[in-house]
Chain A
Amino acid sequence: MHRTGGRSGKTVAVLVVGIAAVVLLAVWGGQARSASTPQKSSAGLTTSASCSGAPVHGGNLVYERQAATETLDPLNPLNGNGDIFSYNLIYSGLVRSDPTGKTNNIVPSLSDHWTISADGKTYLFHLRPGIKFSNGQPVTAEDVAWTLNRFGNPKINAIMAAVAVGFGHASVANSSTVRVQLQRPVAAFLYDISIWPAFILPKNLVQKEGKAFYSHPVGTGPFMVKSFVKGSSITFARNPYYWEKGKPYLDSVKYNFVSDSNTRILALRAGNAQSMDVVPFSQIKSLAGDKNIVVQTAKVPLFLGLWFNHLRPQFADLNVRKAMQYAIDRALINQQIFGGLGQIPNSVLMGFAMDAPASVVKPYPYDVTQAKALMAKSKYPKGFSTTLLYPSGTDFYNQLALALQQEFGAIGIKVKLVAQDTATVTNAWFTRKYDMVFPFASFTSDLTVPDEYADFLANWSNGFHGFESSWKDPAINKSVLAFESTRNQAARAKQWAQIQQALMNQTPVIDVLKLPFINAHLANVCGTDLDGLGSDHLENTWIAG
């Protein structure tokens, strides 16, 4: 008995010492590795980091992403940007958005030039010579035509069928040219095929491997998948066959999936990562004060969309909706909650590059007197009670909801606030069981042009019930349909300004504020421009010594 006790005592002691030693070794090992990894030596950034020189090759970028990648199948995204940001590294399309984000233009990618028939229904895409997939296999016109026909098939491209509306058929014109026939002119067609559902895949491999292809996909993007640990991280290696000469600069990119914003910030500050996305508004000041960190904002189609249920008689009353527009003190909300980074909207949808300026379509000013006058003219001069549903767990929604409750209260609208998890909120929006709702924690457009979302809102034939608001306006619907098929850019700009104004007048929904994407990275991470959709172009990113 005594011996047993003695042994257990010694065993515990040995165990303690052993574990401590191994942990110390592990720590030491980790530190040793950190020290030998150039981009982790963040301590020297302030003196040595510089993005003013020429880009240098090499280095491994660790990027903390809020949303996890769940699938690499570009026709079946399961987790929004979590999947899309990985697609953008692995695959590419015939055309793409301006990677610098400076313009809203569509620029060449796998196709270096194209022609459009006079009636706007036939496109001839000429493939860039010598392009290859990441396994070295040449990209053929057959691959392109096959991919685009999948994109245009609503049974295969079920989730993003809205961006393939009007697509007819793709065929091989010759070994380096693909012909696309549309059913009718689609003004946004080049924008439609610039995003992930139209990214080019190798026909032979997808047909041979089926679903298994997406566990080790092959594409034409700047990187290729090296390892994918679901729920944890995805690591990409440089694609040696990438078509842009000399790019990408980085040897590898690792996306760590970190949903907690505090943890993302800690990882960046500790030098465990070099970049992070979705910086919370409440943390911007603190991060911007760190001389080793650059906080980057990008103008994207992201907004705080407040939805009315027009089946409720109060919100079917135009005077009420307009009164609520006037009742919102957007400048105060912007300053107090969003650190002045938001933009006061002059449309009801998210900000699009072709939006008319505020001098043409004027924003609603904060005018309580006007708001009260409109309420007096409405069917509810004494006000009414209603409910505002919004997603819980997002840092700013509580403050925003409280501000709106107070401001609407000033014109007699008593608002009960209900915070629910995003799934419940989205479900209520989708089934139209709400009074007022912010349907998503983050609400962005898939395109930089307004065609898709204007259609969702105005066109009832798409089955969206006025984008689940139950609002209907045949005149605006007609204008939107004409806009979608007008190819002349000047004419489109004029049409959109009119639609934008008409939507502002009708206020089917309210854009409370337009918001930017906010990322942060260490000061020695260079070439970090986001395109107009807020997507990184990591083929341009490099790490300064």
Chain B
Amino acid sequence: MLSYLVRRVALAIVVLFGLLVATFFIIHLVPGDPVRIVLAGRASPATIARVRHQLALDRPLWTQFTLYVSNMVQGHFGTSFTLDSPVAQIIGQRLGVSAALIAYGMLLSLLIGVPLAIIAALRPNTWLDNSIRLGTTLTFALPGFWLGLMLALVFGLKLGWFPVAGYSGGIVGILQTLTLPALALGLALAGVVVRTLRSSLLEVLQSEHIEATRSRGMSELRVVGRHALRLSVMATATILSINIGFLIGGTVVLEQVFQLPGLGSLLVEAVEKRDYQLVQALTLLAGAAVVLASLATDVVQAFLDPRVKLSGR
């Protein structure tokens, strides 16, 4: 177990370093730099050259890279030129919004997806099952920005239940401002939940253990609720953890549509302005979240399911 964990952590570090290298070179190879974007058109070329020199942007790419890596190793994420603040501070201010959106979106995906998956599994290949699968496939396939705009149109503009954009803190504020984006995220993810849980449930429902339970005269709902669901939930949890990347990607789009001050909208802004320090830090953070979620799932799975042997992998 311990050696497995050490191996996985080492692998995670290698993956993250690879991500760091790839992000650094990709964003630096795209034309434009933060100084020219912010200052061009107003400041003189001499001023722009001076500021680029101060930020070491006129040095060879390899020198900039080694400088960056040595700063990262010492735990310095640098300062964002376009926002004139330390990167760690900016990320700290915005992390909560994205985390709340992801958690709320995941919760809604379960609240929507689990009951639908159970219904679909209990009535396989009927019109009900087909409708559920079609509906959730549709919400999964719809572009996030479109789904978000439609929700804002219906629940914000027509019904006036929620503000169409913006963010407020506190429980009430979060429920008011994050419900629509979380619903857009949850509806998209519900498709994954329904498909995974339904197929897993169908498999479990045909097992001997469930047959034995049925033979004791339990209702189908109780069979599913008390037995089959528990046996099927692990596959769904695994799929959800794998989809952390999907959720992070979803926040990038939805935070733009709903103008939420989270890390997704920050990333878009940082890329638009070629804010190298910020893009690199945010990409690394997103990568770390995916790697850690995957690691955590494996470990939790091993604890919960005795059939899983980590050391054997």
Please list the residues of chain A having a beta carbon within 8 angstroms of any beta carbon in chain B.
1-2, 4-6, 8-9, 12, 15-16, 19, 22-23, 25-27, 29-31, 34, 64, 68, 70-71, 73, 76-79, 154, 158-162, 229-233, 256-260, 262-264, 266-267, 269-272, 420-424, 426-430, 439-440, 443, 446, 462-465
Contacts and interface: CB of A to CB of B under 8 A. Distances in A.
B120 interface: no
Given A26-B172, A162-B42, A267-B166, 12 more contacts: A4-B226, A8-B230, A30-B162, A68-B269, A159-B42, A232-B260, A260-B165, A267-B163, A270-B157, A270-B164, A272-B164, A439-B41
B265 interface: yes
B37 A6 contact: no
B166 A161 contact: no
B176 A26 contact: yes
B166 A256 contact: yes
Nearest to A9: B225
Given A16-B111, A25-B172, A256-B165, A426 B36 contact: yes
B44 A161 contact: yes
Contacts of A2: 226
B43 A229 contact: no
Contacts of B45: 430, 463-465
B172 A263 contact: no
Interface in B36-68: 36-48, 50-51
Interface stretch (B27-35, B131-139, B187-195, B287-295): B27-35
Interface stretch (B237-245, B251-259, B298-306): B251-259
A460 to B, nearest CB: 12
Interface in B265-313: 265-266, 269, 272-274
A422 B160 CA distance: 35
B44 A232 contact: no
Contact of A22 (B47, B90, B171): B171
15 contacts: A6-B225, A9-B225, A26-B171, A70-B84, A159-B39, A260-B165, A264-B165, A266-B157, A270-B156, A272-B165, A424-B31, A426-B37, A427-B33, A463-B46, A465-B45
* 8 residue pairs, one from A and one from B, having the closest CB atoms: A5-B226, A231-B261, A423-B32, A232-B261, A26-B175, A427-B32, A266-B164, A424-B31
Contact of A12 (B47, B114, B172, B261): B114
A34 B160 CA distance: 10
Contacts of B51: 158
A440 B107 CA distance: 42
Nearest to A29: B172
A529 B156 CA distance: 29
Contacts of B36: 426-427, 430
B259 A230 contact: no
Interface string B183-210: 0000000000000000000000000000
